[in-house]
A and B are shown apart, each in its own frame.
Chain A
Amino acid sequence: MLTFVISRLLRAGLTILFVMTFAFIVLRLSGDPALLIMSVDAPPEAVAAFREAWGLNRPIWEQYFSYIGHAFTGDFGKSMRDGRPAIDLVMERVPATLAITMPALALKIGLGIPAGIYAALHRNSMADRLTMAASVAGFTMPSFVLALLLVLVFAVQLGWLPASGSGSLDHAILPIITLGTGGAAIMARFTRSAMLEVLGQPYIRAASAKGVNWRRVVSHHALPNAAIPTVTIVGFMVGSLVAGAVVVESVFAWPGIGRLLVSAVANRDLAVVQAILMVIASWMVAANFTVDLAYGWLDPRVRSATAH
């Protein structure tokens, strides 16, 4: 078990390092922040001074090692826009993002899993077909389309909720629904197929043959097995809690990480973009690690494979 944890931690570290390196290279290949921030008609001396100040005139490998070296001490550079530490800018946006992604996750799980189980247990019934049709509609609709539809209906026509902005609970409702719908649809579909797979297994028939009533066959024999593949998808969704909302935050003008990322990329605010990617990558890696642990907890076969 200990070697399992250590090897996973090493792999996690490597993944994060890889993301940081990749972001560093791509950002430096894709345009000159000095020209963007100083504007094209700035005097050449000012541009040179800017490059000097931010170390952009040094060789790229030198910049890279200095960046990685500082990152190990928790220093992810400063925003070129307002000079504050990039990591602070990012971290202060995290609560706003979580404020809509966490309820959205609850919606995905709370709606998607029961719907999937219900559809599987009533396979080929009208309810199953309706659920699956709704699910297809839910996950094929792009989130910006859904967002605009919701705004049209609930903000423009009915006037019940604000169209965008933040500050009150009302402002969060439409972003949460927009984010939750697609995920709930995917969750429902995935849970249904996991459940159907399990219900076709010989141990389900054997449990019935043993005299266990259907309700208990479902709750004690089928669900614990169907939970194993479902956890993969839940883990994936937990992983995207921090990243998840670039489009939706932009549409609803929600002041989270997603919008910060969009503006930081547009402004070539290198340190901020890199800090955001690093935070997202770390969160994803932590979520994956938790999923791996959950597998072991749910599935004794995995447990004995990692023990040996």
Chain B
Amino acid sequence: MTAPLVALRGLTVDFENGGRLSRAVDRVDLEIAPGEALGIVGESGSGKSVTWLAALGLLPAKARVSGSVRLEKQELVGVPARVLEDVRGKRIAMIFQDPSSCLNPVHRIGWQLVEALRLHRGLHGKAAEAEALRLLDQVGIADARRRLQDYPHLLSGGLNQRVMIAMALAGQPDLLVADEPTTALDATIQAQILALLSGIRRDTGMALVLISHDLGVVAENVDRVAVMYAGRLVEEAPGADLFGAARHPYTQGLLAALPSLTGPRRRLAAIPGTVPDPWNVPTGCRFAPRCPVAETRCASVPPPARSVGFRHVATCHRQVEAAYSVWSLPQAAE
């Protein structure tokens, strides 16, 4: 296996809030190979976005980040701002959920693109403008020359997300972190943006981290999927294995909640209970209170990450078989 492009080791994020600490991300280990597409799935509040904001040092000062994030040989946790500024946009770019509010309302699209080009590629004047045009063209924006003169409020959400992607590409990054890039967009636009991201990845060979709460979005666009729950990584596997042979009760629960297009109509199973509050998490497995197959030790002992197949890791005490879902057991019906 090739050396990872980015490796998270024991990454932990605590938020200080009115004197008490709440742990948003707990000892996350994760690797991304060059050119790989990794999906990160989880409910809101599971820590999937915070993990990547922490990796790039983009969290507010009240967040305490520990553990390690390595970009090849470069450590990113606890380093001076100047080091991170060189990484952001140039090595690792990030796009966000609501593109229209991620673009500065008082600057023209062209100005914002040229800023990135000047920063990362040292381009000025005519050369920068030509490259900005090419980037807008690359992300499929028609009439690019006119768009350079427009302000963000004149563009639709989908167009603005394309502009954000163009801006992320300006630094020719090795990794693009797309944090819920299509959540704020219409379903048809969503498909276009995802296709665009896949296309760019194919053309440029950059790695992609696709963060989403939507299993469907992730399933079609990545090689490997990591599932997060309440700040912890619970399962990690190649896409097909995860969707076909999930081994963690939480992942199985997410899959059971999806409607299927084929086969008989059935009731969609919802996972009972709610996500624990971040300042009051269970001491053992964080999913134990909602888990249909939890044992006594699950409540007190944090489960280890176990290899359950080729590149397939589940963080669970129970040896759940891939063949059947714990949610189809009789006691799980209620």
A211 and B119 contact, CB distance less than 8 A: yes
A301 and B153 contact, CB distance less than 8 A: yes
Chain A residues whose C-beta falls within 8 Å of the C-beta of B58 in the assembled complex: 205, 208-209
* Closest CB in chain A relative to B198 CB, distance in Å: 21
Task: Name 17 extra pairs, CB < 8 A, besides A209-B56, A211-B119, A211-B171.
Answer: A201-B101, A202-B98, A202-B101, A202-B102, A205-B53, A206-B96, A208-B88, A209-B88, A209-B96, A211-B85, A211-B89, A212-B89, A225-B106, A301-B105, A301-B153, A304-B151, A304-B153
B106 and A299 contact, CB distance less than 8 A: yes
- Give chain A's interface secondary structure class: helix
* Closest CB in chain A relative to B167 CB, distance in Å: 6
Chain B residues whose C-beta falls within 8 Å of the C-beta of A208 in the assembled complex: 58, 88
Chain B residues whose C-beta falls within 8 Å of the C-beta of A213 in the assembled complex: 81-82, 85
A residues neighboring B (CB under 8 Å) = 201-203, 205-214, 220-221, 224-225, 228, 298-301, 304
A298 to B88, CA, bound (A): 29
B106 and A298 contact, CB distance less than 8 A: yes
Q: Which of A206, A214, A220, A299 has the most CB of B within 10 A?
A: A206
* Closest CB in chain A relative to B80 CB, distance in Å: 11
B83-102 CB contact bits vs A (8 Å, 1 = yes)? 00111111001101010011
Chain A residues whose C-beta falls within 8 Å of the C-beta of B94 in the assembled complex: 209
B105 and A299 contact, CB distance less than 8 A: yes
Chain A residues whose C-beta falls within 8 Å of the C-beta of B101 in the assembled complex: 201-203
Tell me whether A225 and B171 are in contact in the complex, defined as CB-CB below 8 angstroms, given that A209-B89, A210-B88 are known contacts.
no
B293 within 8 A of A: no
A211 and B104 contact, CB distance less than 8 A: no
6 tightest CB-CB pairs across the interface, nearest first? A211-B89, A206-B102, A211-B88, A300-B151, A209-B94, A202-B101
* Closest CB in chain A relative to B181 CB, distance in Å: 12
B195 within 8 A of A: no
B65 within 8 A of A: no
Chain B residues whose C-beta falls within 8 Å of the C-beta of A299 in the assembled complex: 105-106
B77 within 8 A of A: no
Tell me whether A214 and B81 are in contact in the complex, defined as CB-CB below 8 angstroms, given that A209-B93, A300-B151, A300-B153 are known contacts.
yes
Chain B residues whose C-beta falls within 8 Å of the C-beta of A205 in the assembled complex: 53, 58, 96, 102
Chain B residues whose C-beta falls within 8 Å of the C-beta of A201 in the assembled complex: 101
Pick 14 A–B contacts, CB within 8 A, sort by A: A202-B96, A205-B53, A205-B96, A208-B58, A209-B88, A210-B171, A211-B86, A211-B116, A211-B120, A211-B171, A221-B104, A225-B104, A228-B106, A298-B106
Nearest A residue to B52 via CB reads: A209
B154 within 8 A of A: yes
A118 to B260, CA, bound (A): 56
Nearest A residue to B179 via CB reads: A209
Tell me whether A225 and B85 are in contact in the complex, defined as CB-CB below 8 angstroms, given that A209-B93, A210-B167 are known contacts.
no
* Closest CB in chain B relative to A31 CB, distance in Å: 53
Chain A residues whose C-beta falls within 8 Å of the C-beta of B98 in the assembled complex: 202
